[in-house]
């Protein structure tokens, strides 16, 4: 075992929880007033089939992340890219605790491979650790979903297909309720007498992280008390269908704007030619807004799209 990592028995698993709790408390005590670091608890389900994209786990320097597995890990079964840039890597019988150091920079993506001791599939799991500003997955529960057979498998397949149909129907209904005339905008209470300022992203366009897609166009809008981001994207045919569930706009100081609504023009199934993704948020005042990071969260999934350097025009 390399320095900085150790394997502990199930009896000492409680120490891992204490490690996360103590380190999390220490970091929060050092945070300046007004900081907005968001800790999340998540669940990731693994199947016997390899995923189209690796599950992402958000990490933050100085914030501990605890990974809980539902089956024992193999001895020396954890491989972490850039392990020397973590303060601590503690491996338990079915638990991995990570403490990133300040050597990690925003946007870095590191591979984590975990092998299991049991013979059930999958025998190993792969993850991407992503350094995300003001956000960390402090507890991640990883479950291996076993493939069923016979009537149970048939029922599960039908439920999956029905869920996908409902997601596509939801995307269609969202498209139908999109504003269709100028009257909707000029009579809105948030418009006031300042109108709407728009600014197009400068080319070359930045890369959207988190899925296999191309960003064709990007516009930012600002009104008296609202801002919005409109993305025109093309998903790869190899990418699983993706549906937007929620979003976040995170400022340079970690402050998160209140999201009013999100909208997606149509389903991404089959690599749709163009898909519009729109996020609207509250932003009162006329002061300049610094660069924001946009996160788009998948509905019912764990894929998160990220776009940095989002700049809103001045009024």
> What pLDDT, on a 0 to 100 scale, did the predictor assign at position 177?
56
Residue 29: strand, helix, or coil: helix
User: Hey, which residues does 310 pair with through a beta bridge?
Assistant: 292
If pLDDT is split at 50, 70 and 90, which confidence band does 300 have? Answer: confident
Beta-sheet pairing, 65-69 with 95-100: antiparallel
- In 3D, which of 43, 98, 100, 39 has the Cα closest to residue 69? 43
DSSP structure string for 59-113: EBTTB-EEEEESSPEEEEEEEETTGGGEEEEEE-SSEEEEEE-TT--TT-EEEEE
Beta strands in 252-291 (DSSP E): 259-264, 275-282
The rounded distance, in Å, linking the Cα atoms of 115 and 95 is 12
Which has more pLDDT, 245 or 6? 245
The rounded distance, in Å, linking the Cα atoms of 67 and 93 is 11
- How do residues 164-219 score in pLDDT, each as one tens digit? 677 666 666 655 555 555 566 666 676 666 778 899 998 888 889 998 889 999 99
- How do residues 43-77 score in pLDDT, each as one tens digit? 898 887 777 788 999 998 988 999 999 889 998 88
- How do residues 257-272 score in pLDDT, each as one tens digit? 998 888 888 878 766 6
Run of H or E residues at 173 = helix 150-176
The rounded distance, in Å, linking the Cα atoms of 111 and 295 is 21
> What pLDDT, on a 0 to 100 scale, did the predictor assign at position 85?
92
Residue 19, judged by CB atoms within 10 A of its CB (0-12, 13-18, 19+), counts as: middle
- How do residues 78-124 score in pLDDT, each as one tens digit? 999 999 999 999 999 899 999 999 999 888 889 999 999 877 677 88
Contact (CB, 8 A) for 228 and 204: no
pTM of full prediction above 0.95: no
Q: Does the pLDDT at position 253 exceed 90?
A: no
> What pLDDT, on a 0 to 100 scale, did the predictor assign at position 294?
95
């Amino acid at each position: 075992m390399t320095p900085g990592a150790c394997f502990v028995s199930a009896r000492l698993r409680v120490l891992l929880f204490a490690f996360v709790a103590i380190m999390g408390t220490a970091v929060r005590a050092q945070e300046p007033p007004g900081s907005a670091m968001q800790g999340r608890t998540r669940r990731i389900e693994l199947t016997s089939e390899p995923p189209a994209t690796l599950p992402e786990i958000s990490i933050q320097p100085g914030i501990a992340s605890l990974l809980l597995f539902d089956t024992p890990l193999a001895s020396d079964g954890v491989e972490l890219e850039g392990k020397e840039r973590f303060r601590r890597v503690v491996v338990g019988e079915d638990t991995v605790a990570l403490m990133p150091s300040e050597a990690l920079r925003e946007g870095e993506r590191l591979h984590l491979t975990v092998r299991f001791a049991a013979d059930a599939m999958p025998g190993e799991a792969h993850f991407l650790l992503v350094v995300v500003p003001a956000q960390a997955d402090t507890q991640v529960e990883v479950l291996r979903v076993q493939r069923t057979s016979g009537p149970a498998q048939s029922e599960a397949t039908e439920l999956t297909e029905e869920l996908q149909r409902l997601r596509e129907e939801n995307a269609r209904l969202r498209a139908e309720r999109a504003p269709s005339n100028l009257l909707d905008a000029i009579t809105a209470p948030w418009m006031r007498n300042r109108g709407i300022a728009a600014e197009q992203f400068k080319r070359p366009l930045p890369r959207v992280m988190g899925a296999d897609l191309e960003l064709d166009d990007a516009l930012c809008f600002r009104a008296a008390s609202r801002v919005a981001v409109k993305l025109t994207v093309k998903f790869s045919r190899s990418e699983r269908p993706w549906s937007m569930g929620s979003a976040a706009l995170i400022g340079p100081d970690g402050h998160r704007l209140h999201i009013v609504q999100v909208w997606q023009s149509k389903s991404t199934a089959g690599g749709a030619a163009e898909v519009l993704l729109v996020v609207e948020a509250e932003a009162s005042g006329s002061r300049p807004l610094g660069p924001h990071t946009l996160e788009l969260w998948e509905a019912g999934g764990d894929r998160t799209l990220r776009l940095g350097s989002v700049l809103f025009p001045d009024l």
